[in-house]
Amino acid sequence: MANLDHPVAALSSADIICSSCGHPLIMSGRDPLDTVGPDANGEIQSHQLVPGTLLANRYRIVALLGQGGMGEVYQADDLTLQQPVALKFLPPHLQGDRAALTRFHREVSLARKISHPNVCRVFDIGYAEGLAFITMEFVDGEDLRALLGRIGRLAPNKATEVARQLCAGLMAAHDEGVLHRDLKPANIMLDHRGNVRITDFGLAAPVGEAGAVAAGTPVYMAPEQLRGQASVRSDLYSLGLVFREIFTGNAPGVEAVTAEIASTIERIISQCLESDPEKRPISVSEVGAALSVGVSIPKMPSPEHDPFQKYQIAWWMFATTLLGLAGLLAITGQAVIFNRPPGNPSAVLFSWTWCIGAQILLVFLSIGYLLRQSVRVR
């Protein structure tokens, strides 16, 4: 399942301060791609439920899927509905924290508003053995961060498809008035069919009610989000960083590697990453529309793999030769015709018909060949 290192941090100009314990977090030595969490300066406490454990007489634990500063996620079998689910637990040291439990309930309340194939479904919140947990859709796949860590970047066609699905899922959240505020590859799942699910609404907030406290993963946050001013356009900034990573392999905070991408994609990424939010696209739907226009433009294959470009010179030489021969025959035919007695109209008609017909046939053959090769190229 997804990486669960959620951030709940207040950022000052000097460092990152945990809103729960007040400790500075920026010098903790953690991976810069990890989210800052309340226990970033301490070890993650774990109840480590063993496979086979039965919770609430309904959920049987199958395996631990992931853990982080803000909890653990397990795969479980829902014995009532006879289907796999994912259970997300608060870590033990936050189980009695009223603020943490409030955020837990808020996550469920906001996530349940969103119903879309590209958003991981959240079902309910439950309690068992003194532990609070969220029940959600089990996604049989891999998070995007792990995938990019293995392969570097996605193939252009796959990256475009993932980008389009991300736009669709994020648009569904925004349409329900929900800001994600922590969009990053670790919070994006790809199932075994390659379909995208946006996960982890632990830091989500209603549009217009994001508050003055910065929340998110610092390297994926827009400049204004670092100042506590989250908006639809700050989600677009994070989306642009994810786009750049899937198309080029360049993650924030990591030394960039030169990668060639389509000019349309490059333009979309640049617009999303404008430091001034007013210069970014107005909405996710605008980004999705630009992306759709971009992928509709056919990419011409390189000359070494293009049979039309490889043989077109030889074809035109052949066609020119035939046309020249037809012209020569026409001239010869006219000379013969004009030297004949005018009393032989059938010879005149035959010569002219043959010459004109041959040239028309060659023209149509040339046009047909060009159209056929054009279709192949596309």
Output b/e per residue, 171-196; b: 16+ Cβ within 10 A: bbbbebebbbbbbbbbbbbbeeeeeb
Distance from C-alpha of 375 to C-alpha of 185, rounded to nearest angstrom:
37
What number of residues does the chain have? 378
- Walk across the sheet containing 54-55 and list its strands: 54-55, 59-68, 71-78, 83-89, 131-137, 122-128
Q: Could you give phi then psi for residue 339, rounded to 5 degrees? A: -90, -10
Q: Is 78 labeled as catalytic in the residue annotation?
A: no
Distance from C-alpha of 33 to C-alpha of 86, rounded to nearest angstrom:
24
Name the token pair of 102. Answer: 């409030």
Query: How many Cα atoms are found within 13 Å in the side-chain-facing hemisphere of 278?
Result: 0
Cβ atoms of 143 and 3 within 8 Å: the answer is yes
Catalytic residue among 143, 182, 200, 235: 182
Catalytic center residues: 182
